[in-house]
Amino acid sequence: MPYSYDYFKIEVGNHIIKSFPPSTKILDVGAGSGKYGSMLRYNFYIDALEIFEPYIEQFQLKEIYNNVHIGNIIDFDISIYDYIIMGDIVEHLSVEDAHDLLTKIHLANKKCLVAIPYTMEQGEVNGNIYETHLQSDLTHNVFLFRYPMMKELYRNHEYGYYINYQL
């Protein structure tokens, strides 16, 4: 879905704004409706990476982000970015692809925020096959076991935010 839970969105926005300088270059992966871009665009340089091209026009992403790229994070060049936001992305990737991606981000010394819904099955939505959840079994413990480079930032019984850096 191009939308996600609203849990902790304000806290996450405040965390990023208070923890990083305005010179931080951010990539919002799977921008969807542009929630993170709308929250952070006045504080940071922020680009979007969206795999489903119709969302770009539907949500007017070019009005929200500095640049909007169409593509898949698996083979996207992240080298110019300091901070990667992956809100509701990991569950759409295979375990192997997600592990390889998070390892690549971590080894490149990029800061990363991951948000995931817990134990949520989902198939294609409105013709978008990329909406399918390939990891519908994610819980807090399963996520931390699969992706040990990540640490809890915020969570409740339905949703969690994780980071790969120290507070």
Tokens of 58: 């539907």
Q: Is residue 18 part of a domain?
A: no
**Residue-wise pLDDT tens digits, 136-159:** 899 999 999 999 999 999 999 999
Q: Is residue 10 part of a domain?
A: no
**Residue-wise pLDDT tens digits, 109-133:** 999 999 999 987 776 777 776 677 7
Q: Is residue 134 part of a domain?
A: yes
Is the pLDDT confidence value at 47 over 50?
Answer: yes
The band of 2, judged by pLDDT with boundaries at 50, 70 and 90, is low
Domain membership of residue 147 as a residue range: 26-163
pLDDT score, position 56: 96
Across the chain, the runs of DSSP E, i.e. the strands, are: 25-29, 45-50, 68-70, 83-87, 111-117, 151-155, 159-163
pTM for the whole structure? 0.93
Q: Is residue 99 part of a domain?
A: yes
pLDDT score, position 6: 79
Q: Is residue 16 part of a domain?
A: no
Q: How many domains does the chain have?
A: 1
The residues, any chain, with a CB within 8 Å of residue 81's CB and separated by 6 or more, are 25, 26, 27, 47, 110
Q: Is residue 11 part of a domain?
A: no
**Residue-wise pLDDT tens digits, 68-109:** 999 999 999 999 999 999 999 999 899 999 999 999 999 999
**Residue-wise pLDDT tens digits, 4-29:** 767 899 999 999 999 999 999 999 99
Q: Where are the alpha helices (DSSP H) in 7-164?
A: 9-19, 35-40, 54-58, 95-107, 140-146
pLDDT score, position 3: 55
Is the pLDDT confidence value at 52 over 50?
Answer: yes
Q: Is residue 53 part of a domain?
A: yes
Q: Is residue 32 part of a domain?
A: yes
Please tell me the total number of residues recorded for the chain in this structure.
167
Is the pLDDT confidence value at 1 over 60?
Answer: no
Residue 97 maps to which CATH number? 3.40.50.150
